[in-house]
Chains A and B, each alone.
Chain A
Amino acid sequence: MKRIENKGTPRSHAVVWEQDISSYEDIILARQKVKSLMQGMGFSLLAQTRVITAVSELARNIVIHAGGGGKMSVSEASRTDKRSGLKCIFEDSGPGIEDIEKAMQAGFSTSNSLGLGLGGAKKLCNEFQIESVSGKGTSITIIEWLP
């Protein structure tokens, strides 16, 4: 049982893919790239589908909400228990999210969408971290671990 407590924090790795996200085509590119990286790492098709859907939601958030666009960077992650994974960071310098808790709720939207994107993305990945400063931008990190 000790092992579970001893998972440790993710170590940082070199970025393996980085791209700007400012148009709808960029969302497709991000999806395709993450998919091929995950395939290469040996993730299951289900894990790929889940994470790529999350990537799609988060990238779309940048296109819709962060006027000037933002970027996605992908790197490998590993833990002290030797499990490795894939980490995607979405950063933008848009208006930021005023009330993160509210934004994470299903059904909340400021853009006439379903409001499932942010909360959905959290449910679709192993780890989800969001930081946002009003007026400065938002940074969201997702990690999926290999089984």
Chain B
Amino acid sequence: MTLSLGNGLAALREQIDAPVAAFFSSCVHCGLCAEACLFYTETGDPHYAPIRKLEPLRRLWSREFTLFGRIGAALGLSRPLTEADLAEWEVLVYDSCTLCGRCSLACPVGNDLTAMIRKLREGMTAAGYAPEGLKKAAVRALTGISPVGVGEHSVRKLVEAQAAACGIPIEMDKEGADWLVTISSIEFIAFPEVLGALAKLFKAAGATWTIASDAYEATNIGVQIGSRDVAGTLVQRIVDAAHRLKVKGVVTPECGHAYQALRWEGPNLIGAAYDVEVIHIIDLLDRWRAAGKLKTSGKDTSRLTYHDPCQISRRGGLEPQARRLMAMVAADFVETADAGPWNWCCGGGGGLSANHRAKDLRLTVFGPKKRQLEAVKPEGLVTACSNCRNILEEALQHYDMDLPVLGLVEMLAEYLDEEPS
């Protein structure tokens, strides 16, 4: 056995727990998970059945964590995992799963297949079988701050420009601010206007906020590639900044996986409960809305719909918050079929947006989203995840669909009564 395979198997063993055992023990090979998976529905390739993608993890569990499996292994009735197995499965585990969670919701016996793919990626990465794009992004995030190389100097310039544009100062590293706000690299690069929008919204709510020069990045490549070590380091960086700046809480931005990484996996990755609150920006804005701190005037009269980011709606439960905020700014809101918990993924989640070899497949699996949009013919598509927004724009352009994609935070800021309530 090679060292890398040994590392991979050790990482996989670490991931096997009672839920994994219950999930694999319950699978009856009904195949319904495939019917919920955009990679299967759009290609018809049976290898994209979610439970099939988990075969290496299932084999290890069966062989080493069950008595009958151990007896079978001793009698030579089962084959141990090899480098070849992991190499074969790399494409299935990374290129054909956005961790969207639709399969987990569809499984009749309740198997959380998505959580198991996340676990399987830990072993794949430890063994060295992960896409180059994700590996390089992880290195950039660890050696710098941003997985795409957005440095502190660039961030400062963007912050200054957006503060000047909106006329509200944005102070970086402000000690004692109420909230430490994290931003995703995609926002810095493609949607920097969100900084000005945040400045307006925080001012209107009467809350202070800051961005840490050593922990501005929300994106957690460790969660996407499947490395607890990388993910924990990136979480700890933000926790340390929160302590250094003595903030009351940390805000995760319009980014689905960043919310899952920091809000839910974070305390388990660093091995300690947070002593500050961590909240998604949509949840915080809805809290302020409920408290009467956000007042808007006027609404967008064009026909708007909302794309539910998988990690924020299906696996985050924040779709009611998003819709309450949409109601503040959209006069003609229309839901697509399957909206909310059953929404279809944009195709770029789970690290696929950084996995360049999967681009063609990513565009292929945009099919369900395309059909959702074609059915309701919106004039604008709003979402609360900058990664979704980026992927949606790319796919819409690819399919010659003339549809602007808007960020919910920016929309709210646009219709905001800016004086504090």
A binds B: no
